[in-house]
Amino acid sequence: MSTANQSEMNSRQYSNAWSDYELLDAGDGKKLERWGKVITIRPEIQAHFKPEWSFAEWQDLAHWQFEEISSTQGEWKKLKPQAPEQWGISYESLNFGLKLTKFKHVGLFPEQQANWCFIKEHVSAGQKVINLFAYTGAASLIARANGADVVHVDSVKQMLTWANENMERSQLTDIKWVLEDALKFARRELKRGNRYDGIIMDPPAWGLGAKGERWKLENQLPDLLEAAYGLMNPGGFLILNTYSPKVELADLALCAKQYFSANQVQIKELWMMSKTGKALFYGNILRAIK
């Protein structure tokens, strides 16, 4: 293997399938996934290669196919008469409720499995963890299952409700739910003097705030890292996911350099292999230990 290829492989972090989730195939701008017994076809901008299986084979397997109406919304097409609109899957001891949404998501980002492993390895009972832009709570549940005191922050009420239901499904209790803009809440925590042993951030690439303000991750990245560093206890960890095509590994390294030394930081591309051997890119991740 050439030095360039070796360097490329070293910069990759692969998430793994598990019994209730598989990336079956990918290509032609789509991905074929199995969630428990339900199989979906969803758009995937990074699948800019040819799939291993024909699209006819995909449709023969799948229960649902998401068809885009605009760049942000679409609708689900039922491919099997008995296809459920809501169902559940498990990951280790945790249980998640899944359902079809108009944004193509079903309630879980399985490519985060590599980060779930990192959280499980680095969190112990009694530690304080804050999950910002926390969605339906997989990372919060992983930390709570390890005994951490968890603060879960999201600006969408329906996501907090969904996450709370997942907590109850998983027979966990006492996650603190915060309905708030994540960065604003983090800054208030700084002023209050609250500190954490784990900071988890999964910000959107872009979007609109509660008052119509525009959010672009590439513009907010320095502020996010500044807040995260301030909230970290010595020895604490940070996980920052970036799905934005405008945030590259070099951008993360440049921002991280202001707060962490080289031996404190790990910056990787997040990938997953399909059952058919296709490698699919999911964005970049920064992990740091203070």
Q: Are residues 176 and 266 both part of a single domain?
A: yes
Note whether residue 68 is domain-resident. yes
Note whether residue 104 is domain-resident. no
Q: Are residues 124 and 65 both part of a single domain?
A: no
Q: Are residues 63 and 146 both part of a single domain?
A: no
Largest CA distance in the chain: 57
Q: Are residues 196 and 120 both part of a single domain?
A: yes
42: domain CATH number?
2.60.40.1180
Which pLDDT value is given to residue 168? 98
Grouping H, G, I as helix, E, B as strand and the rest as coil, residue 220 is helix
Which pLDDT value is given to residue 4? 42
Token pair for 203: 């910000």
Which pLDDT value is given to residue 179? 96
Which pLDDT value is given to residue 9? 54
Which pLDDT value is given to residue 138? 98
Tally of domains in the chain: 2
CA 259 to chain centre: 24
Q: Are residues 131 and 265 both part of a single domain?
A: yes
Q: Are residues 161 and 22 both part of a single domain?
A: no
Q: Are residues 115 and 52 both part of a single domain?
A: no
Note whether residue 217 is domain-resident. yes
Q: Are residues 57 and 130 both part of a single domain?
A: no
Domain that holds residue 127: 110-289
In the Cβ-directed half-sphere of 130, how many Cα atoms lie within 13 Å? 25
Note whether residue 200 is domain-resident. yes
Note whether residue 97 is domain-resident. no
Note whether residue 13 is domain-resident. yes
Q: Are residues 179 and 266 both part of a single domain?
A: yes
Query: Among 86, 120, 151, where does a domain finish?
Result: 86
248: domain CATH number?
3.40.50.150
Q: Are residues 141 and 211 both part of a single domain?
A: yes
Q: Are residues 57 and 161 both part of a single domain?
A: no
User: Which residues of the chain form beta strands (DSSP E)?
Assistant: 12-15, 21-27, 30-35, 38-43, 64-68, 74-78, 86-91, 94-99, 128-132, 149-154, 176-179, 196-201, 206-208, 214-216, 232-242, 265-273, 279-289
Q: Are residues 142 and 197 both part of a single domain?
A: yes
DSSP label of 260: S
Note whether residue 93 is domain-resident. no
pLDDT in tens, the chain (290 residues): 444 444 455 799 999 999 999 999 999 999 999 999 999 999 999 999 999 999 999 999 999 999 999 877 899 999 999 999 999 999 999 999 999 999 899 999 999 999 999 999 999 999 999 999 999 999 999 999 999 999 999 999 999 999 999 999 999 999 999 999 999 999 999 999 999 999 999 988 776 655 666 667 888 899 999 999 999 999 999 999 998 888 899 999 999 999 999 999 999 999 999 999 999 999 999 999 99
Note whether residue 266 is domain-resident. yes
Which pLDDT value is given to residue 216? 77
Query: Among 53, 86, 119, where does a domain finish?
Result: 86
Rounded-to-integer distance, Cα 259 and Cα 282, Å:
25
Which pLDDT value is given to residue 212? 62
